[in-house]
Homo-oligomer: A and B are copies of this chain.
Amino acid sequence: MGMIGGSMDAFIGAVHRRAAALDGEIELVCGAFSSNPEKSKATGKALFIDPERVYGSFDEMIEKEKLLPEDQRMDFVSIVTPNHVHFAPAKAALENGFHVIIDKPLAFSVAEAKALQKVVDKTGLILALTHTYTGYPLVKEARQMVKSGKLGKIRKVYVEYPQGWLSTFVERSGNKQASWRTDPSKSGAGGAIGDIGTHAANLAEYITGSNITEINAMLNIVVKGRKLDDDSSMLVKFENGASGVLLATQVAAGEENNLNIRVYGEKGGLEWRQEEPNTLVAKWLDKPKEIIRTGSGYLSDVAKLNTRTPSGHPEGYLEAFANIYLAFARAVRAYKPGKRIDPEKFDFPDVADGVRGMAFVDAVIKSSNSNKKWTQIKG
């Protein structure tokens, strides 16, 4: 693996590196960690990487790695730059024969996302998108439960992603994470809706196995002076006839990273909260609620496959992240030119999810600006 972005002071780069390292199946062999060559070098050194393979730019990395013998060069790139530097390196990597794993959102705009989808289609290579939260074993269990029909036809979906860290004007006081995420030139057209709303939408669609088709949205800039939305809520309709509510806000003061979802069908419901991810509560019409726990013997195969420790030994965010890396790495290993991988066997978010995410952001902004009640998502 070669990494693009992720110098020492970035948050998400270290997360990707740990997720990749956890299972001992992926080795970080090179990187273009920063557009600042000194910074890139310092990062490479701290990571014990051969200085010859620490590059000053992603172009250089792709070019030089391509010249290495096949068994030495990197197999794929991991792109962990801010949103406006997603498209170019991803395109370059794919066009030069490298698979890609990329932090969400896929790109800066719907147009970029669709262009990237075409490159993936043309090259036949693998692109994974790190919508972390679908990597949790109990999210996979929830999807299986819906799929199996245990809940009956799904009627209601409530998905929420409240955070509180943008409750004050932190981008003005030098918070680096806040700065680029609230800057339209780096983040894209969506603020909270792009940063976390897409996670919420992806989670809901993954668990229900059904896409959001229409939304009725309100975007707000709650903190004065901010340039992008920091708060959103919307009514949603799903392809399968279900309806519900989606909300994503970064001004829920005192909330940490409280992504949660509740899904109700004819026979029962499910509730999952990311902050306590090893518990999934099932609710039933005529019998006691059930507490379903990560690592338990009664879980589905896919949940078990994505778990590393016995029940009662909590797994967390990094393990969920690692599940995406592991599925991607195994797909890369199984890759044969000209053959599509089986998404059931290698379960990770892909370029289509990325395009949908961008279309979702687009539609939410459109809906929020409209007096019309419902806006379709054109994905």
Q: What residues of chain A have their CB less than 8 Å away from a CB belonging to chain B?
A: 11, 14-15, 17-18, 21-25, 27-28, 47-48, 151-152, 155-156, 158, 160, 162-164, 167-168, 216, 218, 220, 222, 231, 233-235, 243-245, 247, 249, 251-258, 262, 264-269, 274-278, 281-293, 295-298, 308-319, 370-374
Alpha-carbon distance between A21 and B322 when the two chains are bound, in angstroms: 12
- Name the residue of chain B whose CB is nearest to the CB of A136: B314
Alpha-carbon distance between A335 and B203 when the two chains are bound, in angstroms: 47
From B28, B310, B317, B373, A314 is in contact (CB under 8 Å) with B317
For this chain, the copies found in one complex come to 4
Kindly provide the distance from the CB of A320 to the nearest chain B CB, expressed in whole angstroms. 9
Check A317–B318 contact: CB distance below 8 A.
no
Check B254–A314 contact: CB distance below 8 A.
no
Check A251–B315 contact: CB distance below 8 A.
no
- Name the residue of chain B whose CB is nearest to the CB of A289: B291
Check A285–B251 contact: CB distance below 8 A.
no
From B158, B233, B257, B268, A244 is in contact (CB under 8 Å) with B233
Supposing A231-B156, A313-B317, A316-B315 touch, asked if A269 and B290 sit within 8 A by C-beta, the answer is: no
Check B24–A47 contact: CB distance below 8 A.
yes
CB-defined contacts of A244 to chain B, threshold 8 Å: 233
Check A269–B257 contact: CB distance below 8 A.
no
CB-defined contacts of A268 to chain B, threshold 8 Å: 253-254
